[in-house]
Amino acid sequence: MWDMVSAEEYIRLNTLDNEDFLDADETRKTALLNVSKRTLDRKFTGKEIPDEAVYLFAATLGAAFNDTNKLQQQGIAGFSIKGISFTFKDWAKRPVDHLIPEEVYDLVGVARGRSIKWTVL
């Protein structure tokens, strides 16, 4: 399975938005790593996915699907608790693979976006 010590150390030392991953229990961390790996494997078919890329994306998923942001992913427009209000933008809900950080593309060795094809007229 996952070497959780290596994953936690890498995420702690190489990401800024890491609290949601690091504060999670072992089951949640494993789920974040599994979804990260599965999504990257599907996105980058045939490419070797380094563990570091999985770790970076898992930390991003942890933040994107924390207790508050998870509501946005489920389509909630807004909510308030004891005078604190949260409003989500309609355009902010996107498929999971849209959350892949640029650094992950670099680690996998794939350019982000569409490639340019030159033609001669």
DSSP label at residue 96: G
- Supply the pLDDT for residue 65: 82
Burial per residue of 59-78, b for 16 or more beta-carbon CB atoms within 10 angstroms, e otherwise? bbbbbbbbeebebbbeeeee
Q: Which residue would you say has higher pLDDT here, 78 or 31?
A: 31
Q: Which residue would you say has higher pLDDT here, 114 or 100?
A: 100
Q: How many whole angstroms separate alpha carbon 87 and alpha carbon 76?
A: 9
Q: Which residue would you say has higher pLDDT here, 79 or 53?
A: 53
CB 35 within 8 A of CB 9: no
Question: Per DSSP, which regions of 32-107 are E strands?
Answer: 78-81, 84-87
The model's pLDDT over 62-96, given as tens digits with 9 standing for 90+, comes to 998 875 555 555 566 665 677 776 665 654 556 88
Q: How many whole angstroms separate alpha carbon 2 and alpha carbon 54?
A: 11
User: Residue 75 belongs to what H/E stretch?
Assistant: none
- Supply the pLDDT for residue 93: 57
Q: How many whole angstroms separate alpha carbon 97 and alpha carbon 28?
A: 19
Question: Per DSSP, which regions of 1-62 are E strands?
Answer: none
Kindly tell me the burial class for residue 29, based on how many C-beta atoms sit within 10 Å of its own C-beta (0-12, 13-18, 19 or more). Answer: buried
